């Protein structure tokens, strides 16, 4: 039976072995014919960088994007994309740029995006601490399973969040179209009524002569 101290040591090792994550979740409005860039610092080679975006409203929910490394080398780019979810390994230390371009479109866009930088520090054991490989591996496995489930839940929430905004935008657009179509229909009916009255008035006035 494991002692309380051994269990605490395993937990401490699991915490030290867990990945350090720096994430930024933002919502931004990008006007027509505009370009907006955001930046994330990478402190070490080999760190994982995650990039997620989704157009919530505006036009056909399309946006152009480009991701560049500290030397302005293009890593990812896309044209007329509605959403994207990417993970890549940083091969250089420095500032990475994430730019959205709405220059080819005439409508404002509401963007929801995440920029995540994840590093995995190496586990450091003191000279007086005995390795607990078996128990640590089990704890790490459980930690990764929980992390995977949380990531799955987060992705599902982002999906439904995007669906909600897009459907809401579609409803507003449909309501606006119905309103103006109704106004146009009323104007046409009124015009047809006036034309019919004018025709009948002209007909009877000529018949009276």
Query: pLDDT tens for residues 88-143?
Result: 999 999 999 999 999 888 889 989 898 988 865 444 444 554 555 555 677 777 78
pLDDT of 188 > 90? The answer is: yes
pLDDT of 151 > 80? The answer is: no
pLDDT (0 to 100) of residue 208: 58
Of the chain, the end-to-end C-alpha distance in Å amounts to 119
| More confident of the two residues 58 and 127 | 58
CA–CA separation, 13 and 136 (whole Å): 7
pLDDT of 161 > 70? The answer is: yes
Q: Is 58 left (phi over 0), alpha (psi -120 to 50) or beta?
A: left
Q: Which residues contact 41 (CB under 8 A, 6 or more apart)?
A: 94, 95, 96, 117
- Is the separation of the CB atoms in 49 and 98 below 8 Å? no
With helix as H, strand as E and coil as C, how does the chain read? CCCHHHHHHHHHHHHHHCCEEEEEEEEEEECCCCEEEEEEEECCCCCEEEEEEEEEECCCCCEEEEEECCCCCEEEEEEEECEEEEEEECCCCEEEEEEEECCCCCCCEEEEEEEEEEECCCCCCCCCCCCCHHHHHHHHHHHHHHHHHHHHHHHHHHHHHHHHHHHHHHHHHHHHHHHHHHHHHHHHHHHHHHHHHHHHHHHHHHHHC
pLDDT (0 to 100) of residue 134: 53
Rounded to the nearest integer, the mean pLDDT of the chain is 79
pTM confidence score = 0.62
Q: What percent of the chain has pLDDT above 90?
A: 35
What strands lie across the sheet with 83-89, from one edge to the other?
Answer: 20-30, 109-119, 48-57, 83-89
CA–CA separation, 39 and 37 (whole Å): 7
pLDDT band at 204 (very low <50, low <70, confident <90, very high): confident
Average pLDDT over residues 41-69: 91
């Amino acid at each position: 039976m494991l002692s309380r101290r051994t269990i605490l040591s395993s937990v401490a090792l699991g915490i030290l072995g867990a990945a350090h994550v720096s994430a930024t979740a933002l919502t931004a409005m990008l006007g027509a014919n505009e370009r907006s860039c955001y930046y994330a610092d990478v402190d070490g080679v080999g760190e994982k960088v995650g990039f997620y975006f989704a157009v919530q409203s505006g036009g056909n929910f399309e946006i152009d994007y480009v991701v560049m490394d500290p030397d302005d080398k293009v890593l990812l780019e896309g044209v007329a994309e509605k959403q994207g979810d990417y993970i890549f390994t940083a091969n250089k230390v420095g500032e990475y740029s994430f730019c959205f371009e709405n220059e080819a479109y005439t409508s404002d866009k509401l963007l929801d995006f995440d920029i995540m930088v994840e590093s995995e520090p190496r586990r450091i054991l003191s000279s007086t601490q005995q390795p607990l490989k078996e128990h640590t591996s089990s704890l790490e496995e459980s930690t990764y399973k929980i992390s995977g489930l949380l990531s799955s839940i987060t992705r599902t929430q982002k999906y439904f969040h995007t669906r909600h905004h897009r459907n809401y935008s579609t409803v507003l657009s449909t309501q606006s179209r119905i309103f103006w179509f109704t106004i146009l229909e009323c104007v046409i009916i009124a015009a047809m009524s006036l034309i019919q009255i004018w025709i009948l008035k002209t007909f009877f006035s000529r018949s009276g002569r």
